[in-house]
Amino acid sequence: MTKSVEYFFSIGSPWSYIGFDVFAELAAKNDVVITPYLTTVVEENGGIFSRNRPEIRRAYWTRDLKRWARVRGKELRLEHRPDLSDPTPASLFVIAAYLDGQDWIGVARALQHAFWSEARDIGKPDVREAIVTSAGFDGATLLRRQADDDVQNKWSADRVHARDSGVFGFPTYVYDGEIYWGQDNLPFLERHLRGDKP
């Protein structure tokens, strides 16, 4: 029987990037339909942007990211990054691909890799268009679609749904009414998908 998981993530979240491929593989293996919701940290629910955390916690966060990146086989460029613009608008490319029935997972993967492994400025429209085009997608169409009402409306609605669902950080997976926060919770999500509900 097909199962459905609500997937809340952010292009600007390194944890979303680290856990992305593992989650996609888990979903395929367990006959899961993924419904994506893209937004930013939900501060109303207690989410905290990393830039607003004390330095000692930020230092630990960086070390933990590096450990998990090695486990997941991801290369993170965290130090000596150039000044980059806000990556949030790249979410609109993913939303457009999803609404159009395209490979939104592939679009998200290309943008996340460019931002987190290559430190490319995906906040700039021409940069993200080039990235997705080189990955085999129609970058011009996605660039044009990002301003359309249905894309903008989903972007707004995704934040409201995240807030109302109790989401505060990323990635978050919701299955059968149960919330799993963080890519390190994927083993628990998989147990639940296989019938072991907590």
Residues forming beta bridges with residue 36, ordered by sequence position: 7
Of 4, 10, 13, 117, the active-site residue reads 13
Give DSSP secondary structure letters for 97-150. HHHTTS-HHHHHHHHHHHHHTT---TTSHHHHHHHHHHTTS-HHHHHHHTTSHH
13 as an active site residue: the answer is yes
Distance between CA 75 and CA 96 in Å, rounded?
27
25-57 in b/e form (b: 16+ CB < 10 A) is ebbeebebebebbbbbbbeeeebeeeeeeeeee
Tokens of 91: 């979410």
For residues 186 and 7, the answer to whether their CB atoms sit within 8 Å is: no
Q: What letter would DSSP give residue 89?
A: T
Active-site residues, by number, are: 13
